[in-house]
Amino acid sequence: MSNDLAFSTLILEASFVVQLVMLLLLVASVASWYLIFVKRRTINQAETGADAFEDRFWSGGNLAEIYTQVNAPHEETGGLERIFRAGFREFSRMRKQTGASAESIVEASHRAMRVSMSREMDRLERYIPFLATVGSTSPYVGLFGTVWGIMNAFRALGQMQQATLTTVAPGIAEALIATALGLFAAIPAVIAYNRYASQVERISNRYDIFMEEFTSILQRHAHTQPSASAQQAGA
């Protein structure tokens, strides 16, 4: 057992199991940091897009004009816009059907928005559970590496005639590196998970509120004369 306490030396001279644990924790840390930046961009885009669309929607514009804008081929749409588009498309389609009641029109539109919202929430929540997994399991994986390393260190000490702190220190130090890597992987993942889970929940509530308000608007227009096309509807 070497007495060199250099960080790189401790890693290179660690047992295979401890090295495997360190490699696993390093991969988990890199993956979680990558997802932290990806989800940050995705969630920020969702919030910014919702702000912009709500400003446009509640400015009093014509619903058909707003639908045309968000349905343009080169228009970059956000989650709230896609929910609106799904609801208004179904509303317009149902209005063209003969004999469709106002209740069925509104119900179909609301159902279409609910499906669209489920897709959006699935996109926002994707990979967030991975951060929770890394945050909850990494300390235990690191602890396993530490226990294994210390066990090997004491087994090696048992074969020595004289054991001193100098001989036991490297083995214990290399084992403790696994615990440090476990915490290094876990702490950012836990912080990011708590933050992003809270933001996604707020976005979900925001989508829900918009759906209910938009459903109320569609309900008013659904009771107008069929000849008054949905293209005459105003927010």
How high is the pLDDT of residue 154? 75
Q: Kindly indicate the confidence band of residue 117, based on its pLDDT and cuts at 50, 70 and 90.
A: very high
Answer whether 189's CB lies under 8 Å from 132's CB: yes
How high is the pLDDT of residue 119? 93
Could you tell me if residue 2 is inside a domain?
no
Could you tell me if residue 121 is inside a domain?
yes
Candidates 176, 181, 182, 184; CA nearest to 10 is 176
User: 124 or 13, which is more confident?
Assistant: 124
Query: Does pLDDT of 223 surpass 80?
Result: no
Answer whether 142's CB lies under 8 Å from 25's CB: yes
Q: Determine what percent of the chain is predicted with pLDDT higher than 70.
A: 80
Q: What is the mean pLDDT of the chain?
A: 84
What distances in angstroms separate CA 227 from CA 145, 221, 230, one per listed residue? 73, 11, 9
Q: Kindly indicate the confidence band of residue 71, based on its pLDDT and cuts at 50, 70 and 90.
A: confident
pLDDT tens per residue across span 19-58: 898 899 999 999 999 999 999 999 999 999 999 899 888 8
Rounded to whole angstroms, the Cα distance separating 151 from 129 reads: 33
Q: Which two tokens stand for residue 54?
A: 């709500």
Answer whether 13's CB lies under 8 Å from 153's CB: no
How high is the pLDDT of residue 9? 67
- Count of domains in the chain? 1
List all residues 6 or more positions away from 62 whose beta carbon is below 8 Å from its beta carbon. Answer: 231, 232, 233, 234, 235
Query: Does pLDDT of 228 surpass 60?
Result: no
Could you tell me if residue 54 is inside a domain?
yes
Could you tell me if residue 37 is inside a domain?
yes
DSSP string, 25-94: HHHHHHHHHHHHHHHHHHHHHHHHHHHHHHHHHTTT-BHHHHHHHHTSTT----HHHHHHHHHHHHHHHH
Could you tell me if residue 88 is inside a domain?
yes
Highest mean pLDDT among 13-22, 85-94, 221-230 belongs to 85-94
Candidates 8, 2, 1; CA nearest to 177 is 8
Residue-range definition of the domain harbouring residue 84: 7-232
CA triple 215-221-226, angle to 5 deg: 135
Query: Does pLDDT of 235 surpass 60?
Result: no
How high is the pLDDT of residue 70? 82
Q: Which two tokens stand for residue 38?
A: 């990806």
Could you tell me if residue 201 is inside a domain?
yes
Could you tell me if residue 1 is inside a domain?
no
How high is the pLDDT of residue 232? 44
Q: Kindly indicate the confidence band of residue 76, based on its pLDDT and cuts at 50, 70 and 90.
A: low
Could you tell me if residue 56 is inside a domain?
yes
